[in-house]
Amino acid sequence: MAGLFSLGGQRALVTGANTGIGRAIAETLAGQGARVTCAGRRSCAETVEAITDAGGEADELQIDFADPMAATDNFAGEGYTLLVNNAGIIRREDAVSHSEADWDAVIDVNLKAVFFTCQAFGKELIATGQQGAVVNIASLLSFQGGIRVPGYTASKHGVAGLTKLLANEWAPHGITVNAIAPGYIATNNTEALRDDPERSRQILERIPAGRWGKPEDIGGTAAFLCSPAARYVTGAVLNVDGGWLAR
């Protein structure tokens, strides 16, 4: 049965792989046998080193998704069969004060870059007749409104919708497109929340699992969605949240 979950022979691009969720995903995919390109606007050397030290295959690619078209020339002829769009940013501000600059920055990285990276990846696979898988990182704020993050909430609602649209179009080509909606995970993006004792207490009281999630909690889900075991799973937005949305 191990073959159902093996990623041997696959080549993956994981964005935002220098830290947090992206690093955990890259390491998990490599652990299942994929050759992983770790992409980020900052160096992913530590992620690559961790993978190679564990006996896996990895390289790095420096990309800044402030330019939403930054990855569009990276797929032709490169043999990628897996894509994980994890790179993202957040800007916290009351809705009445949220600036156009912050709105544009968040939408460009979190939504526009996701679409055009997916487009380039899908175009290459369809042209070559290759099957593959896309995993987008959505959010609990793909389902909920949140507080003080209007651009982020809009972008993550968009990621959920885009995931379903691409799944519909690309299923006939053997390309699955799914999303993971992480709960409250201990990463840089949630540092402000964890540093606020009252907000952190409120969050933990609602999570049935009783703890903040770990980046590794997302890695295994991504590996499953990339694997042959998930060939009939497409268009799903899978919440990995310790039970947050169930409460």
Instruction: Using alpha carbons, list the distances in angstroms from residue 180 to 77, 99, 142, 183.
Output: 28, 28, 10, 9
Q: Are 48 and 23 in contact (CB under 8 A)?
A: no
Cα separation, 52 vs 197, in Å, equals 38
188: confidence class by pLDDT, cuts 50, 70, 90: confident
Residue 111 has pLDDT above 50, yes or no: yes
Given 80, 152, 184, 232, which residue is catalytic? Answer: 152
Q: Determine whether 184 is an active site residue.
A: no
- pLDDT of the residue at 1: 46
125-183 pLDDT per residue, tens: 999 999 999 999 999 999 999 999 999 999 999 999 999 999 999 999 999 999 999 99
The whole model's pTM is what?
A: 0.96
Tokens linked to 8 = 């041997």
189: confidence class by pLDDT, cuts 50, 70, 90: confident
Break the chain down into helix, strand, coil percent, rounded to 5.
45, 15, 35
Average pLDDT over residues 209-223: 96
Tokens linked to 144 = 């909920």
Taken in order of first residue, the domains within the chain and their CATH numbers are 2-186+216-240 (3.40.50.720)
Q: Are 136 and 157 in contact (CB under 8 A)?
A: no
Residue 220 has pLDDT above 90, yes or no: yes
2: confidence class by pLDDT, cuts 50, 70, 90: low
Q: Which residue in 172, 179, 181 sits closest to 139, CA to CA?
A: 181
Q: Residue 14: which H helix or E strand, with range?
A: strand 11-15
